A and B are shown apart, each in its own frame.
Chain A
Amino acid sequence: MANTQGIGGAAKQAALASIVNGKALKAALFLASATRGPSDATYSTTGEVSGAGYTAGGVAVTNGNSAGLTGTTTFWTPSASIVYSSVTLATAFDAVMIYSTADANRNIGTFTFGSTTVSGGNFTLTMPTNDASTGLVRFA
Chain B
Amino acid sequence: MSELIETPMIHTMQGNLPIADLEYSTSWEVADEYTKFIETYKLNGEIVRQSAHVLAKQGLFGESLTQTL
List 10 other contacts, CB 8 Å, given A6-B66, A121-B39, A127-B56. Answer: A88-B13, A116-B36, A120-B12, A125-B54, A128-B55, A136-B60, A137-B62, A138-B61, A139-B62, A140-B61
CA distance A118 to B48 in the complex (A): 10
Interface size class of A (residues with CB under 8 A): 20 to 34
Given contacts A5-B68, A7-B66, A124-B54, contact A119 B47 (CB under 8 A): yes
Interface of B is mostly: strand
The tally of residues in B whose CB lies under 8 Å from a CB in A reads: 30
Residues of B within 8 A of A112 (CB): 33
Tell which of B13, B53, B64 touches A139, judged by Cβ atoms closer than 8 Å. Answer: B64
A70 at the interface (CB under 8 A from B): no
Beta-carbon nearest neighbor of A73 in chain B: B61
Segment 29-49 of B: residues with Cβ below 8 Å from A: 29, 31, 33-34, 36, 38-39, 47-49
Contact of A111 among B11, B38, B56, B63 (CB under 8 A): B56
